[in-house]
Amino acid sequence: MRPDTPADHIAEAERLLRTATQYPEDQEPLLLQAAAHLELAGDRERASTLYDRLLASGPERPYLVKALQAANLWEYGHEAEARALIGGIRTAAPADPSPWEIVAETLEAHDELDASHACFTEAVALLLPSGDEEISYETQPLLTGRHRVRRLLGHPHDRWDLLADKVHSAQSDITLDELHDPNRLWALGSDNPAELRAEIARLRSELGSYRTALSRPFPVAVLHWPEPELTELLAAYPELESEYPTHAAHLTDIEASLRDLASTGTANLGIVTATVPAYEAFAASEQSSPSTPDLLPQFTTTLAARGRATTWPPARHTACWCGSGAAYRDCHGGAGF
């Protein structure tokens, strides 16, 4: 039976571990599958232990294991270790496309779009130096991923983008430009090609029928910049200083705005936390400048529509939304606020 719950994934991982003990010659693929199931179950620390075990055994594809370990580590809070592994893989420049794809997509998933683009480009330059070679199945995702990130960054097409278009057009009647349209990615909240193709087909078949926010209800949301992100934002775009005079004032405005909305009976209130790379990518998709204040409400609404909002107010005994670590009742939720 296909695993559907964390318990099912744990059981499947245990089965694979037993099988790996019985068949040591097949240990590497079995342990990789077991680690994947542990990640899906949310047991990332145990998955990390398996990756370390594989690396200690001298695997056939060490850079693949390191890439998977980096992606896993980043997801459970070990960003520095993940970055070190990614840096090592890029320095080693393996001829295997899979590690490149994993680390570039890991960077993309964490809004490191420039680094992701650089990683995809390094891989394509290494594995397809002239662009005239036969494009293997394993290499195609590098071209496709690079095309997607360049669209998010607002870069014009280059020869590798044209090659990606050529390879893709032989397999689908939907162009890569349409599939990777940043507005569509932001609205749908996914970069899964199957989901995007289904959405494009639906929109084409309905020819203009309008679905409110793509059938995704979203709250009335307020934008929250953590202090490091706000510092980076204002350093890059000082025109926004009138919107955010200080970080403390920004936090105060958020709580006050939400309380005012709640007092008028507005329901389904939320907070979306922003990062500068995500904001810059959104601005590029809108063909606008990040320094434009009018773009901020659009960015907030889009993030909320993508399901990025957290409900406000939090329970009084849980951590405050501001990231201070204090309970909400002792921070912005206090009566003295």
Residue 295 and residue 286 in contact, taking contact as beta carbons nearer than 8 Å? yes
pLDDT at 205: 53
- Beta bridge partners of residue 269, listed in sequence order: 220
Residue 23's pLDDT band (cuts 50, 70, 90): confident
Query: Above 90 in pLDDT, residue 41?
Result: no
* Structural domain count, the chain: 1
pLDDT at 4: 61
pLDDT at 209: 36
Residue 197 and residue 180 in contact, taking contact as beta carbons nearer than 8 Å? no
User: Is 287 domain-assigned?
Assistant: yes
> Percentage of residues in the chain with pLDDT exceeding 70?
83
Residue 289 contacts by C-beta under 8 Å, 6 or more apart in sequence? 283, 295
Long-range CB pairs of 89-92 (<8 Å, 24+ gap) are 89/63, 90/119, 90/122, 92/63
User: Is 131 domain-assigned?
Assistant: no
| Residue 178 or residue 113, greater confidence | 113
321: which DSSP letter? T
Average pLDDT (128-134) is: 66
User: Is 197 domain-assigned?
Assistant: no
Average pLDDT (287-315) is: 84
User: Is 229 domain-assigned?
Assistant: yes
User: Rounded to whole angstroms, what are the CA distances from 95 to 91, 99, 156?
Assistant: 12, 9, 27
Query: Above 90 in pLDDT, residue 170?
Result: no
User: Is 226 domain-assigned?
Assistant: yes
Query: Above 90 in pLDDT, residue 185?
Result: no
- Strand 269-273 with 220-224, pairing: parallel
pLDDT at 195: 63
Long-range CB pairs of 292-295 (<8 Å, 24+ gap) are 293/239, 293/240, 293/242, 293/243
User: Is 138 domain-assigned?
Assistant: no
Indicate the helix (H) or strand (E) that contains 289: none
- Beta bridge partners of residue 272, listed in sequence order: 223
pLDDT at 111: 86
What whole-number distance in Å separates Cα of residue 69 and Cα of residue 50? 9
pLDDT at 178: 74
Residue 72 contacts by C-beta under 8 Å, 6 or more apart in sequence? 35, 39, 44, 47, 48, 51
Query: Above 80 in pLDDT, residue 191?
Result: no
Query: Above 90 in pLDDT, residue 29?
Result: no
Query: Above 50 in pLDDT, residue 210?
Result: no
What whole-number distance in Å separates Cα of residue 21 and Cα of residue 27? 7
User: Rounded to whole angstroms, what are the CA distances from 110 to 100, 104, 130?
Assistant: 16, 10, 30
The chain-wide mean pLDDT, for the chain, equals 83
| Alpha helices for 59-158 (secondary structure H) | 62-75, 79-92, 97-109, 113-127, 140-153
pLDDT at 184: 57
User: Is 280 domain-assigned?
Assistant: yes
Whether the model clears a pTM of 0.75, i.e. scores above it, the answer is no
Full domain range(s) for residue 241? 218-330
Per-residue model confidence as pLDDT tens digits over 235-259: 999 999 999 999 999 999 999 999 9
pLDDT at 287: 82
User: Is 309 domain-assigned?
Assistant: yes
| Residue 224 or residue 303, greater confidence | 224
Place of tokens 């695997």: 59
